[in-house]
């Protein structure tokens, strides 16, 4: 059961009011009437927003309808207002309609009131719906604009039959077309990067083909007609068809310049990272390989040297014996021993040659890059992170003539030694410096730490193979390093005091003529 | 009997004893020293005989000992003995004034020959003046490349470095060196270096 319709009646005459009430009762609607007859009452009544209908007499003493009308329209714009009066002129009626009166009923034909109420209520309902729709549409538009703005989307609309192009502000901005200038297909083409033009035109044509899906999705370079700036623009559109005919294409464009740049940078950074990792791995493997080979070579050389010593002594003793032996049989045996001893000496010589030949493959190298690599490799582990590294290797040093793998290994050895030596001290500074000694045609390189220096009892044996201060050392580090440097025609020596140890070495330069 | 006094400076007692046995049975007088300091302490300003010095010794090595002898004006023929001979070591020893250079193990007769020849010459003399003059004359027969290599050797550079700088293989350098020896009429590296030094062959600008 619907609520009663609330009807406001502006009427001074009692008889007229009753008549109106009577006719309203015959409309078939459940209607409840409220009667007023002063302007003050009207103002109060308009505070109540729930009126479904307002009926007003034109001539109420003390109330000028021309004054009351704007008040009613302003405060209750959606409530139907029907004028119930004596005859008024046609012109007057038109003027009042324009000002917001919905309908007229003459007092002498109140039977028409039902039609007027029907019309008014129907019209009110329609107007309410329209208003809701408008509000919703407006809201949708607002949201759409906000979303468009936030996303940076631009929208185009192409009427294919007329060729008319409709671009929004964003598309115009990207192409560099002023907001008030009509957009032409030529402008669209002119904005495309020449290298992309053919491809885009082809994709567009394909999207107009009724046999296809009508979809258009491309990425293109657009050169702003105004700012000349190149942007990467992604476009997506959809063509609608009338049978076999493409009629309209609507779509969006989006500036992906920044996104692609970031993606490229990321990809490059990732590639650079993996390249560096690979290089570090290769260098580590080289180093490991070289260290093992050098260790083998050094062991072979050391053993050969150590074996030579007793052989030499044996040969001397043998010859002393031969000098004093008189028995020919004994002398024969001694000759046999002599021959065998020289066989041993020959084998040792072969081992030594192997150890010596395996070593140096010199090539011109830039010392600063070797030093940088060695520092990276030598200070890889976590415990060495707190060491301050100072590299003073000038860029313009002449190239040195060295076996890069071996020299790198020497440097890594020295850097690791230095790092270990500084494990227990407060100030941890590792300084690697180099200088060119032009008059001697060599480069002097030093690795200095701020450790405690070498203990006296160790210093004497620093270069003796198999003597080590470390629990897991081979005792070949420094002696190997010196052997490598000497094999390069350089020297390696040590300077140390309580403020730290410095290992110095000389290396030959590559271009002696330079 | 030679009655030549041989000063053996070597940290290896066994090796010293073996040298003593071998040399004494060959008629030499042997005095042993465990290190360079002991020798410098005992030696007179104008010693007799000759010194056999081991290169590799803890503390003062053979080169340092040679330098001390030179600095103190002690003139005695020095034969350097090394366990690991290479050209730079040999050149260093010869430049420091050694009259000969032997690599362990050597044949006893080679040492005895070296001692005899050292004893018959004054210290640090390659040979007689006519010998050196003849050597100098033969230098002219060397090709430019051979002369370069000789200068490189005198500069004390390893063959590999010489080879690289000349853009040839170490093996080729080796072959050149053999030719150089033949042309100059000297056998052995130590003789080559000694004569070259005596004939004032200097390391050329290329090797500095």
Q: Is residue A144 in some structural domain? A: no
- Does B201 have pLDDT greater than 80? no
Q: Using CB atoms, which residue from B12, B25, B206 is nearest to A323? A: B25
- Determine whether the interchain pair B207/A311 forms a contact, defined as Cβ–Cβ distance below 8 Å: no
Query: Which of the two residues, A455 and A412, has the higher pLDDT score?
Result: A412
Q: Which two tokens stand for residue A429?
A: 């500074």
Res. A29: pLDDT tops 60: yes
Which pLDDT score, from 0 to 100, does residue B48 have?
A: 84
What is the enclosing helix (H) or strand (E) of A172?
Answer: helix A169-175
Beta-sheet strand order (sheet of A215-223): A164-167, A154-159, A245-255, A230-242, A215-223
**Which of B12, B22, B164 has its CB closest to that of A319?**
B22
Q: Average pLDDT of A352-361?
A: 63
Looking at chain B from residue 75 to 94, which residues have their Cβ under 8 Å from any Cβ of chain A? 83-84, 86, 88
- DSSP for A204-229 reads HHHHT-TTS--EEEEEEEEE-TTT--
pLDDT of residue A422: 87
**Per-residue pLDDT tens digits for B62-107:** 989 999 998 888 888 999 998 766 677 777 888 788 888 888 888 8
C-alpha closest to that of B66 among B9, B126, B110, B22 = B9
pLDDT band at A395 (very low <50, low <70, confident <90, very high): confident
Calculate mean pLDDT across residues B164-175.
84
pLDDT at A85 over 60: yes
For residue A514, pLDDT beyond 50: no
The nearest CA of chain B is from the CA of A300 a distance in Å of 12
The answer as to CATH 3.30.2320.50 being correct for domain B129-207 is no
The answer to which of A265-274, A339-348, B78-87, B163-172 has the lowest mean pLDDT is B78-87
Q: Give me the sign of the Cα torsion angle B140, B145, B151, B153.
A: negative
**Are A107 and A216 within one domain?**
no
Query: Do A225 and A272 fall into the same domain?
Result: no
Q: What is the CATH number of the domain that holds A235?
A: 3.30.450.20
CATH of the domain at A416: 3.30.565.10
The predicted pLDDT at position B188 comes to 75
Instruction: Answer yes or no: do A489 and B88 touch at CB < 8 A.
Output: yes
Return contacts of A74-80, CB within 8 angstroms, 24+ apart.
A75/A46, A76/A46, A76/A49, A76/A51, A78/A124, A78/A127, A78/A128, A78/A131, A79/A51, A79/A52, A79/A53, A79/A54, A79/A124, A80/A52, A80/A53, A80/A54, A80/A120, A80/A121, A80/A123, A80/A124
Residue B27 at interface with chain A, using a CB cutoff of 8 Å: no
pLDDT in tens, B11-52: 989 999 999 999 999 999 999 999 999 999 998 877 888 999
Q: Is B161's CB within 8 Å of A489's CB?
A: yes
Q: For residues A82 and A57, is the Cβ–Cβ distance under 8 A?
A: no
Whether residue A171 sits in one domain with residue A97:
no
Of A131, A166, A187, the residue that ends a domain is A131
Q: Kind of pairing, strands A230-242 and A245-255?
A: antiparallel
Do A113 and A178 have their domain in common? no
The answer on pLDDT for B123 being more than 50 is no
Better pLDDT: A461 or A207:
A207
pLDDT band at A465 (very low <50, low <70, confident <90, very high): low
Domain co-membership, A419 together with A498: yes
Best of B156, B161, B173 to substitute, by most chain A Cβ atoms within 10 angstroms, is B161
B25 has a chain A CB within 8 A of its CB: yes
Identify the band that residue A431 occupies on the pLDDT scale cut at 50, 70 and 90: very high
Q: A143 in a domain, yes or no?
A: no
If asked whether residues A286 and A344 sit together in one domain, one would say yes
Residues of A in contact with B207 (CB under 8 A): 441, 512
Indicate if A94 and A15 belong to the same structural domain: yes
Chain A residues touching B206 at Cβ < 8 A:
512-513
pLDDT of residue B31: 94
Kindly indicate the confidence band of residue B178, based on its pLDDT and cuts at 50, 70 and 90. Answer: confident
Average pLDDT over residues A186-203: 91
Tokens of A199: 């491809």
Does residue A441 form part of some domain?
Answer: yes
Q: Residue A36 maps to which CATH number?
A: 3.40.50.2300
**A402, closest residue in chain B (CA to CA):** B161
% of chain B residues with pLDDT over 70:
90
Asked, for residue A170, whether it belongs to a domain, the answer is: yes
Question: B12–A313: do the CB atoms touch at under 8 Å?
Answer: yes
Look up the CATH number of domain B5-119: 3.40.50.2300
Is residue A263 in a domain?
A: no
* End residue of a domain, out of A357, A383, A403: A357
Taken in order A275, A276, A277, A283, is the CA torsion positive or negative? positive
A242-279 residue pLDDT tens: 888 999 999 999 988 888 888 888 888 888 888 887 77
Q: Are residues A346 and A368 in the same domain?
A: no
Q: Whole domain around residue A44: which residue ranges?
A: 5-131
Nearest CA distance, B18 vs chain A (angstrom): 5
Q: What is the mean pLDDT of chain A?
A: 85
Interface contacts (A, B; CB < 8 Å): 92
Which of A152-156, B102-106, B142-146 has the lowest average pLDDT?
A: B102-106
Q: Residue B208 and residue A317: Cβ atoms within 8 Å?
A: no
Q: Are the C-beta atoms of A378 and A415 separated by less than 8 Å?
A: yes
Q: Do A363 and B164 touch (CB under 8 A)?
A: yes
């Amino acid at each position: 059961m619907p609520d009663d319709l609330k009807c406001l009646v502006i009427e001074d005459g009692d008889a007229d009011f009753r008549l109106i009430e009577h006719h309203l009762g015959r409309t078939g609607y459940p209607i409840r009437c409220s009667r007023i007859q002063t302007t003050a009452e009207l103002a109060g009544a308009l505070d109540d927003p729930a009126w479904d209908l307002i009926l007003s007499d034109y001539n109420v003493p003390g109330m000028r309808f021309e004054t009351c009308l704007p008040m009613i329209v302003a405060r209750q714009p959606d409530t139907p207002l029907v004028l119930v009066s004596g005859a008024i002129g046609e012109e007057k009626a038109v003027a009042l309609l324009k000002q917001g009166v919905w309908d007229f009923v003459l007092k002498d034909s109140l039977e028409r009131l039902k039609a007027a109420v029907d019309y008014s209520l129907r019209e009110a309902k329609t107007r309410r719906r329209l208003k809701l729709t408008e509000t919703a549409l407006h809201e949708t538009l607002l949201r759409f604009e906000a979303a468009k703005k936030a996303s940076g989307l631009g929208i185009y609309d192409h009427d294919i039959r007329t060729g008319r192009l409709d671009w929004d502000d964003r598309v115009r901005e990207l192409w560099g077309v002023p907001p008030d200038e009509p957009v032409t297909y030529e402008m669209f083409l002119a904005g495309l990067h020449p290298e992309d033009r053919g491809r885009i035109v082809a994709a567009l044509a394909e999207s107009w083909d009724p046999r296809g899906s009508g979809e258009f999705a491309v990425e293109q370079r657009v050169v702003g007609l105004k700012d000349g700036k190149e942007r990467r623009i992604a476009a997506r559109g959809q063509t609608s068809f009338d049978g076999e005919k493409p009629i309209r294409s609507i779509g969006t464009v989006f500036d992906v310049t920044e996104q692609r740049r970031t993606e490229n940078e990321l990809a490059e950074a990732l590639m650079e990272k993996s390249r560096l990792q690979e290089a570090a791995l290769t260098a580590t493997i080289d180093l490991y390989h070289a260290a093992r080979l050098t260790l083998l070579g050094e062991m072979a050389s050391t053993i050969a040297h150590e074996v030579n010593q007793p052989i030499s002594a044996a040969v001397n003793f043998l010859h002393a014996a031969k000098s004093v032996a008189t028995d020919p049989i004994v002398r024969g045996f001694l000759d046999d021993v002599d021959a065998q001893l020289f066989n041993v000496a020959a084998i040792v010589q072969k081992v030594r040659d192997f150890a010596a030949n395996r070593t140096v493959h010199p090539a011109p190298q830039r010392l600063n890059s070797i030093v940088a690599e060695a520092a990276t490799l030598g200070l890889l582990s976590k415990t060495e992170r707190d060491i301050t590294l100072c590299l003073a290797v000038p860029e313009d040093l002449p190239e040195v003539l060295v076996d890069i793998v071996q020299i790198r290994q020497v440097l890594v050895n020295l850097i690791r030694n230095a790092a270990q030596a500084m494990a227990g001290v407060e100030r941890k500074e590792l300084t690697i410096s180099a200088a060119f000694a032009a008059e001697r045609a060599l480069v002097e390189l030093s690795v200095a730490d701020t450790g405690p220096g070498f203990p006296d009892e160790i210093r004497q044996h620093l270069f003796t193979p198999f003597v080590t201060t470390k629990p897991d050392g081979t005792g070949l580090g420094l002696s190997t390093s010196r052997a490598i440097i000497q094999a390069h025609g350089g020297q390696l020596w040590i300077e140390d005091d309580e403020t730290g140890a410095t290992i110095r070495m000389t290396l030959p330069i590559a271009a002696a003529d330079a | 009997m030679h009655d030549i006094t041989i000063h053996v400076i070597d940290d290896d007692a066994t090796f010293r004893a073996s040298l003593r046995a071998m040399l004494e049975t060959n008629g030499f007088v042997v005095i042993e020293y465990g290190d360079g300091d002991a020798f410098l302490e005992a030696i007179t300003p104008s010693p007799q005989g000759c010194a056999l010095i081991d290169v590799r010794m803890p503390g003062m090595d053979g080169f340092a000992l040679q330098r001390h002898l030179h600095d103190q004006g002690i003139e005695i023929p020095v034969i350097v003995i090394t366990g690991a001979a290479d050209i730079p070591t040999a050149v260093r020893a010869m430049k420091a004034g050694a009259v000969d250079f032997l690599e362990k193990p050597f044949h006893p007769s080679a040492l005895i020959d070296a001692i005899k020849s050292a004893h018959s010459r004054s210290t640090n003399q390659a040979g007689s003046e006519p010998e050196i003059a003849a050597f100098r004359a033969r230098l002219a027969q060397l090709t430019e490349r051979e002369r370069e290599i000789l200068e490189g050797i005198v500069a004390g550079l390893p063959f590999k470095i010489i080879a690289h700088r000349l853009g040839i293989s170490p093996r080729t350098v080796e072959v050149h060196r053999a030719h150089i020896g033949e042309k100059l009429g000297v056998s052995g590296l130590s003789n080559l270096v000694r004569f070259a030094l005596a004939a004032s062959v200097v390391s050329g600008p290329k090797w500095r």
